[in-house]
Amino acid sequence: MTTALPAGLALPETVSADQLTPDTESFDVVVVGFGIAGGCAALEAARDGARVLLLERAAVHGGTSSMSGGHFYLGGGTAVQQATGHEDPVEEMVRYLMASTKDPDEQKIRAYCEGSVAHFDWLEALGFEFERSFFPGKAVIQPGTQGLMFTGNEKVWPFRDDIKPAPRGHKVPVPGDTEGTRIVMDLLRDQVEKAGVEVRYETGATNLVVDGDRVVGLAWKSFEKTGVVRAGGVVIAAGGFVNNQDMVDHYTPALKSATFTLGSTYDDGLAIRLGESVGAALENMDEPFITAPFYPPSDLVKGVIVNRDGQRFVAEDSYHARTSYEVLRQPGGVAFLIVDSDHYEEQRMSLAPLKDGFETIEEMESGLGLPEGSLVATMTSYNKHAAAGEDPELHKHPDWLAPQTTAPWAVLELSLGVAYYAGFTLGGMATTVDGEVRRPDGSVIPGLYAAGACASNIAQDGAGYCSGTQLGEGSFFGRRAGLHASRYAR
């Protein structure tokens, strides 16, 4: 007896090319999803001379891209890096991404790094300019309009010892973390319309049309209306699967620890399942991005993070997602941030709540239920070395070392189920550097492309993720997919 798959894992049926008639609508390229990846794919295909149709299930453009803070991870010597005095040779950017990613795809990483400056220029040509300024502090996103900051682990050991650190988090010039990407998406929409792309909102792809092993179109639905369209190439750029509980349970159960998801209603995995329906291979589906930033204020980074055994396990100056990734690996997902009175300020994001305050370390050790003597030993060792500007255990950067010796001490809880973790998915369809979707044997599926959150490109694991990678790679590889699809179709 065959057990039926959960609804969220079921694959759409394919449609035979026999359903296409001589009067079926026909386009060179059909793009599914109007987020940053789909918009860039449609624009590049249209500028290459293709007749393009862009479908979007929502009533407006933007997708999950519009929910982000506006970071683009770019380097290799952008105008902002040059204006703020930060050298960033392409090879150093390549080396960093190769070293910080669990299973790096060198061809994609090298293409991204070598094309980063040109892509920066392409983005600004949409009609905005990144501010030529640098934010030196420790924050999730620049508090003002500063155009550049560190958004990864470039200054964290061991990367900083062998690879020259450079900031690569370019932010759209809007204060804080709201409306940043919306500006880019509005400008992208204007350019898409100017290029002659036909955009249909409240219209989603439901099935792929195949002729043998080739994708030649898709079926669509808009409210009660349905239809099919012929396509020389189909680019799927319709988001990840963070809001598909069956897929999360199956692939990334760690995301169930997240208090809320970073995604739109349409991040339901349909894009990936459409690819699977024609034999697409999937990569890195078990990798989540999950985080509960405990800063700003940045002085909190000078504190000490311990697990339920009273032991440190991650350098506190790590990028917030790397810290959270390590919390996931601790016994019971339990972790505490300890900060003394000289360095404690009220958290501005309040994602890691204040658990309690303690007058002595011994009292704190007992109050947190830690093994007797464990926290006393950890704090004694840390404070001794921090006073000398050293951290022989985890190599925290000297900029963030400070003894935590002034009573009382505050404890912020980073434990899963207590702190407010947010997350999204990183895995997706296996693709070539030009977005062609691959089968498990490495061959490509003719006529099918993927970009953005439904594709696996360079943002492959939570520990190595840098803020701005999804917008950066989504737009970059979306452009490549659209251009390749245009040339394949014609």
Closest listed residue to residue 10, CA positions, set 282, 281, 247: 247
Task: Say what the pLDDT of residue 165 is.
Answer: 96
- Is there a contact between 72 and 471 (Cβ–Cβ < 8 Å)? yes
Q: Where do the CATH 3.90.700.10 domains begin and end in the chain?
A: 293-413
Give the tokens for residue 172.
Answer: 């759209």
CA torsion angle 20 24 30 35 (round to 10): -110
Task: Say what the pLDDT of residue 301 is.
Answer: 96
Task: Say what the pLDDT of residue 1 is.
Answer: 45
Separation between Cα atoms, residue 33 and residue 46, nearest integer Å: 16
pLDDT at residue 131 above 70?
A: yes
User: What is the percent of the chain where pLDDT is above 70?
Assistant: 98
Give the tokens for residue 26.
Answer: 């026909």
Task: Provide the β-strand partners of residue 444.
Answer: 438
Separation between Cα atoms, residue 421 and residue 444, nearest integer Å: 37
List phi, psi (to 5°) of 312.
-70, 150
154 contacts: CB under 8 Å, gap ≥ 6? 96, 160, 163, 165, 166, 167, 168
pLDDT tens per residue across span 216-245? 999 999 999 999 999 999 999 999 999 999
Q: Where are the beta strands (DSSP E) in 111-166?
A: 148-149
Distance of alpha carbon 43 from the chain centroid: 22
Mean pLDDT of 86-104: 95
The domain at 25-67+180-289+422-489 falls in which architecture?
3-Layer(bba) Sandwich (3.50)
Q: Within 13 Å of residue 61, how many CA atoms lie on the same side as its CB?
A: 26
The domain at 293-413 falls in which architecture?
Alpha-Beta Complex (3.90)
Separation between Cα atoms, residue 262 and residue 248, nearest integer Å: 13
Mean pLDDT of 380-395: 97
pLDDT tens per residue across span 426-483? 999 999 999 999 999 999 999 999 999 999 988 767 778 889 999 999 999 999 999 9
Task: Say what the pLDDT of residue 70 is.
Answer: 84
Q: In whole numbers, what is the pLDDT of the chain averaged over residues?
A: 94
pLDDT tens per residue across span 163-174? 999 999 999 998
Task: Say what the pLDDT of residue 121 is.
Answer: 98
Separation between Cα atoms, residue 5 and residue 246, nearest integer Å: 9
The helix-helix angle for 36-47 and 180-194 (nearest 10°) equals: 30
The helix-helix angle for 116-124 and 106-114 (nearest 10°) equals: 50
Closest listed residue to residue 243, CA positions, set 252, 235, 234: 252
pLDDT at residue 7 above 80?
A: yes
Give the tokens for residue 93.
Answer: 């950017």
pLDDT tens per residue across span 282-314? 999 998 889 999 999 999 999 999 999 999 999
Closest listed residue to residue 308, CA positions, set 328, 331, 324: 331
Q: Where do the CATH 3.50.50.60 domains begin and end in the chain?
A: 25-67+180-289+422-489
Task: Say what the pLDDT of residue 177 is.
Answer: 62
- Predicted confidence band of residue 123 (pLDDT cuts 50, 70, 90): very high
1 contacts: CB under 8 Å, gap ≥ 6? none
